[in-house]
Chains A and B, each alone.
Chain A
Amino acid sequence: MILSIFIGISIALFGFVLQTSIGGINRKIIGRLQKRHGPRWYQEFIDIFKLLSKRSVSHGWIFDFGVIMALGGIIATAMFMPLTSTFLAFENYDNFFIFVYLLAVGMLGMAMSASGSGNPWASIGVMRALTTMLAYEVPFLIVVLTIVNLSGNSSLTEIMLYQQAAGNNIFLIALPLGGIVGFIALMGMLGKKPFETYIAPAEIASGPMVEYGGKQLGMLFILHEITIFIEVSLFVHLFLGGATNIFEFLFKYFIVYTVANLISNVNGRFKIDQVVKFFYKWPLLMAVTQAIIAIYFGWVI
């Protein structure tokens, strides 16, 4: 048990280091896209450690406690994440719904803390973040339920093994419509444009983060990196067939995150009502069609 907890914490730490480095490399790639040199690849680490070294202001205990609760919730979520189909901390506890449930703890902690700051921009940002969450969860869950139905199991490692088994395609190819929906929902989860509405620096002054500075912001950054790690890994495991070894995982992870980032950087952002309308229109329709095709007709490539 102790060993499992230790491995779990190591996975969370690994996720943080991995996502922070890949985030830094991505900043460089985006820099090239924007015709400039770009920062050093380890810039994100420096930013986070700098924030942790600063003095910060508190806005009451809810504000402080919410951040810690969110960070704790996210680290707990990351502990359950399998890296490859055989390497995970807690055997048989890698059910998909654990992640959905535990991710909400982090989100709610952040929402609580941001509302605790009392800044109106923050409360608008929190409202928008929760609305966006409602929007992307529905189509995403439909697609995932289709996958669970096909593979007959909701455990991530089982889903991975199902895709890796001979004769089965990875779900991105097997369920093309569902794969597209999954990727769009992933963009929404990551808060990439065009679904960046709840951060929106030029409209609501970076939304929930408006009152954070110093240590709390540093913790939020760590939280953000680990959240991205969880979400991208979920996509890799669910749709790209997971990984048999760690290098395959790193490769797939890098590709998914970079593609999402590149798409994000040539798009504008929607308004909040457009986000909701968008998700409830095409992705929802596509997800339902995919579910009907896959489950009732059994047409799976």
Chain B
Amino acid sequence: MNSISNLEAVDNIINSTGKVIKKEPISDFQVAYEVNKSDVHQILTSLKLEGWKQLSYLSAVDWPEENKFELVYILLNWDKPVYIQIRAKIDRENPSMNSIIPIFPGAKYYEREAHEFFGIAFPGNPDYKKQLIMEQWDDIPPLRKDFDPRAYSDRKYPSREYPDNFSKKDKENESLEKQAKRRKRARKLRTGGEE
């Protein structure tokens, strides 16, 4: 039950099933592999057969500069305690990835959530298109980097207006007020005059 030998075992399994683009050891109990999109299913299958039976997490990361989404699968084997991150990049335009439900049935709702938050399609998942967390969402998927929740919130929900003299002015706190004024000016300079 030595964690170093466990990491080597993982290395062997993954190298025998697919091509590894990049390997990142993170700690004694965790290792990350970046693989091709086409290899993901095979690697997950062979890992599951070797005892990595639990899908801990499935999600995506947005990389707008590279124009890619990165899918992350995190697996865990309780008997040989190693977390494995399997990462694969997919295109940002019309993103799509075959579902892993046949391998890990527990992925059903993770995939639905990824579709809702990133707009990634998961053919093979019977109802990935249905809405789950949000109701009648009317904008681009919210976890994409180009979505601005501030702007959406300002547009959709009226916010409370406070008059300038809302907070009581205290003689002792004049220094704080000066500080606030200074900060406001700095913010104005930084944002180019916008509030």
Q: Taking the complex as a whole, does A directly touch B, i.e. does some CB pair lie under 8 Å apart?
A: no
> Which residues of B are interface residues toward A (Cβ below 8 A)?
none
